[in-house]
Amino acid sequence: MAGQLSIIDLILHASFIVQCVMLILLSASVVSWAMIIQRNKALSEALDESRKFEDRFWSGIDLSKLFNEVSARPDASGLENLFKAGFKEFARLHKTSRSPSAVMEGTTRAMRVGLSREVERLETHLAFLATVGSISPYIGLFGTVWGIMNSFIALGAVQQATLAMVAPGIAEALIATAIGLFAAIPAVIAYNRFSHRVEQLENSYANFVEEFSNILHRQAVSSGDSH
């Protein structure tokens, strides 16, 4: 009897609704794992690029030279994009305005917009992982309730009920809950981990914006005083 109750047989002989629930959950699990791998790679690369650019930025290199290097790269991202947006806006406004406050207001605004775009890019797919982690157990529970309900309906149609009659139906129903948890747990763990890493990167980006703004403000003030 134990040999007949294999998981594969239970899945294959489950009701159509329960099979659909299992298919949905397995599909969600596969997609979420693909996104987990992709996000882990993307966030790791973003962290490495951030550290490399900060080392380059604080090495004492001329800002105009660094701007030309960054502008020449079509795949610039993260701090490079923030630096490029800020320096470009600073140079443009500096030519048309002698007011340091006006120059810095426009420069800071440009970097804030760039910061929002970079954070949005870092958060790609996180909403999907949160959704999978939240609803997968409930979808699995729906499949379980449906399967158990059908088992008891079939049980009520016979004169003499035995455990052998109801056990397969309950077992196949419980598999739906197990698959739901299998899909949800990695998604929740990944979402929490990635959210923390995005928050760290966002704080790093925000700190750079403040530090870079101070450097540009000193340049704007000194240039204004010279005029």
125: region left, alpha or beta (phi > 0 left; psi from -120 to 50 alpha): left
- For residue range 154-194, list pLDDT tens digits in order: 777 666 666 666 777 788 788 889 999 999 999 999 999 99
pTM: 0.81
Give the C-alpha separation, 220 to 67, whole Å.
17
Residue 1 is predicted with a pLDDT of: 40
- For residue range 105-159, list pLDDT tens digits in order: 888 899 999 999 999 999 989 999 999 999 999 999 998 888 888 777 777 766 6
Q: Are 53 and 79 in contact (CB under 8 A)?
A: yes
| The two three-digit tokens of residue 12, written as one number | 């294959």
Average pLDDT, the chain: 85
> Residue 43 contacts by C-beta under 8 Å, 6 or more apart in sequence?
122, 194, 197, 198, 201
- For residue range 9-26, list pLDDT tens digits in order: 777 777 788 888 889 999
Closest to 168 (Cα-Cα) out of 18, 45, 46, 53: 18
